[in-house]
Each structure stands twice: as structure tokens, then as C-alpha cells.
Amino acid sequence: MTENTRTSLIEKVLAWSTFLTVFVALYLALVYAPTEKTMGDVQRIFYFHVASAWVGMMAFLVVFVASIAYLLTRQANWDIYAYTSAEIGVFFTTIVLITGPIWAKPIWNTWWTWDPRLTTTLILWFLYLAYGKIRLAIGEEEKKARLAAVFGILAFAVVPVDFFAIRWWRTMHPGALVTSNGIALAPDMMLAFFASLFAFTLLYCYLMMRSVRIERIKAEIRLLKEGMFN
Amino acid sequence: MSFIRKVRSLLWKEIRSELQGKEMLSTMIVFSLLVVVVFGFAIDLNKDLMGGVLPGIIWITMTFAGILCLNRSFTAEQQNDCLYGLMLCPLDRSAIYVAKTIMNLLLMVIVEGVTIPLFFIIFNYPGPQQVGLFVIVLLLGTYCFMAVGTFLAALSSATKTGEILMPILLIPLIIPVLLSAVIVTKGSFGLVVSGADLYLKILVVYGVVFTVLPMLLFDYLLEV
């Protein structure tokens, strides 16, 4: 029981700190940060858009690492990490794909463009939807974990190729914010930006923790059921 | 036996089972002819515009025909548990993957040999200006397609919804192949494209990456 109580304590702390940081980030992004000179208030989408994109990418990286770890160690825990992370990643990538066009329409005068970043994000979204589909299509736990891990590795390997393939098309998307010359952002905006980045990362950790726990409980129930009927 | 000889005997087995019925090949050819005809009905453009559209049509048709081929590639082995028989053979499992890929590639090359001339006839478009480049991009693109496709066919054949799952897995993964192949094909038609050689290089890189990765991971797919 001690481990359980410790986990629930960590979860509680994480939940409250996520709750508070999200509020602070919201305040900073919507009120504190100055209105952008040319774009106006629409620019405030930026704080949510980029933060979601960051969480999405990080989540898919976790899927990749956890998939490799699963194939090497065959511990069900890694599979649970990979699966929950993929789920959360798809969710945040969906946010990116929705907020992006809302921001792009007034600024670029088009909802969508075949820019490397947009296209790569879209393809990633499709890939991890497919990843979820594999899991739905297999009954046996071990096989499900194994095949999903194989696809998780393959899916992440295609990302750099995608990016370079699409890169030679004309780019419309703004470049990297953080370059070797420093950060191209007004200090007030920077604060709001990093606050929302931090808030979203905490949110990711919290969601991960919750869904990992749910998956573990599910596995436990499965074991109990098998024990009951056999 | 060396790896190559094992692959050769597996490939011979594939060819013999195909020659027995010639089911796959005839179905693929008829199917791709139908797609050509359907596109012929649906698209009616003058010659200048046609050049911009034809490469896309060619690669869409090849994608469809390829998916048809891949769907049978491993599910056919499930009859009488042939796949287990293959797995019991004293050989590296990646040899099965290599032999299947070569077989699928062969089938596709035959299909392309039959249908691609018809594209130029039905759409009344003069043949590609740089025939060499055209042939290279066809082979390279088809190889990349089949290298990933054969692997995913093995993966999806192990699931409950194999045949409907396969395209969903495959298409997002081959987007860079389709993109690059269409652009290089356009270039081989003598249309102005920037960076055709870069896209050719992407195809090569993709081909290498997605030959090595599936060979490494194939053992994990065919576990009992």
C-alpha cells in the first residue's frame, strides 16, 4: 500500500501544480503579454499552438523510446507508456491542427498550406492514428504490444525523411524561434510563452500518470477475470 | 546455405506458387487497366495540363495495384498454416521478408510494363523525354513502396482486420516516396521542376532506411 499512497500523493501534487500553472499561463498569454503589432490578438493562439506542438512531438518521441525499450526488455510497463503517450500525442496534435488553420486564415489568408512543418505534423497525426488502429485490431496482449512497438519505431523513423522531402517546397511557416543568435521574441511574450510551455508539459505529465494508472488497473482487472473463469 | 541462396530458394517457391494460378498477376493487371480507364473518363485535359497531372495518376494507380498485391502477400500464407511452415525452416526470418519483397517487386514491374505504356496511349501524351530517368524513378519508387509495404503486409496479416488496416498503415508511411516519385516523374517528362536530383536522393535514402529497419525488426513480427 505504501507505494500506492506515494503515487497518489505525487499525483495530487502534480494535479494541483498543473492546475495552478495552467491558470498562470492563461493569464500571461491572454492578459499580460502585449498584443502583437501586425497580427493583433490572433497571435495569442501562438502560446497554445506551439506548446501543444511541443507536447505532441515529445509524446511521439516517448512512444519511440518506449517501443524500443519494450522490444528489448519485454516489460508490459513500457508498452503502457508507449500506448498512453501515443494517445495523448494524438490529442495534442489534433489541437495543433485545429489552432493552426484558425491562426493561419487571417494571417496567411489561407487555412492550409503544404509547408514542411504543417505537412509533417499532419502525417504524424495519421501515423499515430494508425498506431492506435493496430492496437484495436489485435486481441492478445503480448502480440498487440509487440506489433505496436514495431510500428512505433517505423513511424518515428519516417519523420526526418518526411521533413526533408517536403522542405524544398516553399516555406510559409515561421522559422525556428530559438536559434544560436538567441530568442526572437519580446521579453513579455517570452515569459508568457515559456509559462504555457511549462504548463502544457506539466499537463502532459499529469495525463500520462493518470492514464498509466488506468491502464494498469485495466490489466489487473483482466488478470482477475482470467483467474475467475479459469 | 548462404543468405542469398536461401532467399533464392524462397523466391523460387513464391514464383512457382504464382505460376500455378497466375491469380495475383492477372488480377493486378486487370485492376490497374480499370483504374487507367476510370481516370480516362474522369479527367479530360489538353496536352499542356496533362503533363502536370499524369505523374500523379501513374503513381496513384501503382499505389492501388500495389495495395492489392500486398494484401495477398502474407494472407495467402495463412492457408494450411504455411506461414508456420516457413517460420520452421532453418533460416533467418529476414530471408522471408527479402524474398517476399523481391516477389512483390517483380509482380509490380510486370504490371507497370503492361499498364504504363497504356497511360500514354489513353491520355494521348507523348512518351517521357528522359526515358532513362523515367525507368529509374519507376523502379526506385516501386522498390521503396514494396520494401515498406511487404513489411506492413506481414504486420497487418497478424491482425483481425488485416486487409482494411494495411492501407491505413501504409499510406502515411509512403508519403515521402509518393511525393518524391511524382516530382521526379514530372522532371522526366521534360517539365521544369526544381531539385529533381534531390528528390531522387531522398528516394535512395528512404530505400536504404526502409530496407535496413524492416530487416532488423522482421524477427519481432514473426514471433509465435
Per-residue model confidence as pLDDT tens digits over B109-121? 999 999 999 888 8
- The answer to the question of residue A33 being in a domain is no
- Structurally, chain A folds into a number of domains equal to 1
Examine the predicted complex and report whether its ipTM is higher than 0.90.
no
| B75, amino acid identity | T
- Cβ atoms of A58 and A204 closer than 8 Å: yes
Q: Which three cell numbers stand for residue A167?
A: 522542405
Nearest to A165 among B176, B217, B220 (CB): B176
Across A29-43, average pLDDT: 76
Cross-chain residue pair B206–A168, CB shorter than 8 Å: no
Domain carrying residue B75: 3-221
* Residue B127 reports pLDDT greater than 70: yes
Task: Indicate the number of domains in chain B.
Answer: 1
* Candidate ranges A57-71, A97-111, B44-58; pick with highest mean pLDDT: A57-71
Per-residue pLDDT band at A109 (split at 50, 70, 90): confident
- The answer on pLDDT for A177 being more than 70 is no
> Does residue B48 surpass a pLDDT of 80?
no
- What pLDDT, on a 0 to 100 scale, did the predictor assign at position A166? 64
Task: Please determine, for residue A183, whether its predicted confidence score (pLDDT) is greater than 80.
Answer: no
Q: Which residue is closest to A154 within chain B, CA to CA?
A: B213
Question: Residue A175's pLDDT band (boundaries 50, 70, 90)?
Answer: low
A157 vs B contacts (CB less than 8 Å): 209-210, 213
The reported pLDDT for the residue numbered A178 is 53
Strand partners, A178: A183
- pLDDT at residue number A14: 87
At B59 the pLDDT is 94
Q: What does the alpha-carbon distance between residue B98 and residue B33 come to, in Å, rounded to a whole number? A: 28
**Which pLDDT score, from 0 to 100, does residue B30 have?**
92
Q: How far is A222 from chain B (nearest CA, A)?
A: 20
pLDDT at A230 over 70: no
Own/partner pairs for B82-90, CB < 8 Å, 24+ apart? B83/B157, B83/B222, B84/B224, B86/B10, B87/B222, B87/B224
Which member of A143, A153, A162 has the closest CB to residue B176? A162
> Which amino acid is present at B154?
A
Question: What pLDDT sits at residue B125?
Answer: 84
Domain ranges, residue A60:
47-171+186-229
Percent of chain B beyond pLDDT 70? Answer: 99
- Residue B125 exposure: Cα atoms within 13 Å on the Cβ side: 28
Taking all residues of chain B, what is their mean pLDDT, rounded to a whole number?
A: 87
**Domain-embedded: residue A93:** yes
CB spacing of B195 vs A168 below 8 angstroms = yes
Note the pLDDT tens digit of each residue in A68-93.
Answer: 999 999 998 899 999 999 999 999 99
pLDDT band (50, 70, 90) for residue B151: very high
Which grid coordinates are listed for B31? 485492376
Q: What pLDDT shows up at residue B211?
A: 92
Classify residue A3: in a domain, yes or no: no
Query: So what's the pLDDT on residue A174?
Result: 61
Phi, psi of A183 (to 5 degrees): -110, 130
A36 in a structural domain:
no
Cell of B153: 503486409
